[in-house]
Amino acid sequence: MFKRVLLPISIVIIGIVVFITLKQTKPEKRVRQQPEKIWRVNTLIADFQTISPQIRLYGRVETPRNSYLKSALVADVTSTSVLEGNTVKRGQVLVELDNTDATLLLAQRQAELTEINTMFNSEQQRYLRDKQLLVQQQYLLDIADKAVARAQKLEQTKLVSQASLDDSIAAKHRQAVVLRGLEFDIEDHPSRLTRIQSQKKRVQALLQQAKVDLSRTKITAPFDGRISQLNVSVGDRLRAGDNILSIYDINNLEVRAQIPGRYIQQVRKMMMRGDDLTATYNSKSLKLNRLSGSVKMDSGGIDGLFRFTTDEDIPVLGKFVEIVLTLSPQENVIALPSNALYGLNKIYIIKEGYLQAIDIQRVGEYPNSNNDKMHIVRSNLISQGDIVVATQLPNAITGLRVEALGE
């Protein structure tokens, strides 16, 4: 019994002793220290400067004076003297319409005016005649009145018959009626004259309209411009309102380009101060004339309207152009290449061999002496002489170990 209990206990004790012996006699494991990985980057020294930012904008050439000339008459096209793309002068005849109907109508209105003038002269002569006749008719009425008086005296003495007296009275009344009619004609003269003058004004207006219609048979250029579209040819029958051609003013071309929202406040301040906001396009100079009065939906800025300062070699209407707008000088800013920017508002500087993220404000762009695009930034967290990373690291993060190339 004792042997049966002692044997397992002995085996366990032996195993423990062997385990302790093996553990104490095992070889020591040496831990090798892995060196920290160092990223080698290009760098530049932060240098505060005063720089005039430049903004690269994209827009299209347009004009506020783009006219669509339409027919005001029903007429046939008899001639066209221009084609699409031609440059024309103000007042130049572009298209001519058949003027037969307009000429006939003008002759009719002139005849009507002549008739009215004749009626006016006739009324004036009638008035003078009536005034002269009025004296004579009054004299005849006086004679008739005296004849009646004599007839009444003779009738009392039975020297004339009652019939003769009645005839004298009737003659007097007839003469009075004639006199009253003549007086009415004289009194009605101003009314008849007013009616004739009103008819004359109406006919004169119709005559003027006929002259305008005749002039509209010649389609002329409203300003110095370029033909953008010609919609008719000789022989076409036009109705009132049909499109003939479109023309735009070559002296009022401008570029509509959207200015990003982050620059709007600065642009408005410059405009309020009266500063010139100049831009360039292919060595051509432009000036910001005004800002758009509305903001387009889903837009990140406001459209600016830029006018060309010269009329030489201006691009055609609708052309897509790239312009560079120069803003007012900015103090205490740093110029950095594109590789130094991370996202829209972050750069990294090196502090004691490690990256440190810095938030910045982008002010604009400008080309350096090699015509490379540089980004102008500003930050209160950067000091003069700080080392700025100018390499794009895919795993850039604050605390990453880096080393400047050349060290």
Q: What 8-state DSSP symbol labels residue 401?
A: B
- Residues 60 and 255 sit within 8 Å (Cβ to Cβ): yes
Q: Which of 398, 390, 399 is nearest to 40 (CA)?
A: 390
Q: Return the pLDDT at 23.
A: 67
**β-strand pairing of 243-249 with 225-230:** antiparallel
Residue with tokens 């010609």: 230
- Residues 217 and 96 sit within 8 Å (Cβ to Cβ): yes
CA atoms within 13 A on the CB side of 190: 1
Tell me the chain's radius of gyration from C-alpha atoms. Answer: 53
Domain annotation for the chain: domains and CATH numbers? 36-52+329-407 (2.40.420), 56-64+252-328 (2.40.30.170), 66-98+217-249 (2.40.50.100), 101-215 (1.10.287)
Name the token pair of 346: 């972050």
3-state secondary structure of 76: strand
Q: Return the pLDDT at 185.
A: 75
- Say how far residue 100 (Cα) sits from the centre of its chain: 39
- Say how far residue 181 (Cα) sits from the centre of its chain: 68
Q: Which of 66, 53, 62, 52 is nearest to 303 (CA)?
A: 62
Dihedral-angle region of residue 158 (phi above 0 means left; psi in -120 to 50 means alpha; beta otherwise): left
DSSP codes of every residue in 170-239: HHHHHHHHHHHHHHHHHHTHHHHHHHHHHHHHHHHHHHHHHHHHHHTTEEE-SSSEEEEEE---TT-EE-
Q: Return the pLDDT at 166.
A: 64
pLDDT tens sequence for the chain (407 residues): 555 666 667 776 777 776 677 667 666 666 565 666 788 888 899 999 998 888 889 999 999 889 999 999 999 999 999 999 899 999 999 999 999 999 999 999 999 999 999 888 888 888 887 777 777 777 776 776 776 666 666 666 665 566 665 667 777 777 777 777 777 777 778 888 888 888 989 999 999 999 999 999 999 999 999 999 999 999 999 999 999 999 999 888 899 999 988 888 888 988 898 888 889 888 888 999 999 888 877 777 899 999 988 877 778 888 999 998 988 888 899 999 988 999 888 999 989 889 999 999 888 888 887 778 888 998 988 889 889 999 888 888 888 888 888 65
- The whole-angstrom separation of Cα 130 and Cα 143 is 20
Residue with tokens 């085996």: 11
- The whole-angstrom separation of Cα 127 and Cα 184 is 11
- The whole-angstrom separation of Cα 224 and Cα 126 is 56
Distances (CA, A) of 57 to 281, 292, 349: 10, 15, 30
β partners of residue 347: 358
Q: What is the pTM of this model?
A: 0.61
3-state secondary structure of 286: strand
Q: Which of 218, 143, 207 is nearest to 179 (CA)?
A: 143
- What's the burial of 224, exposed, middle or buried (CB within 10 Å: 0-12/13-18/19+)? middle
Q: Return the pLDDT at 5.
A: 62
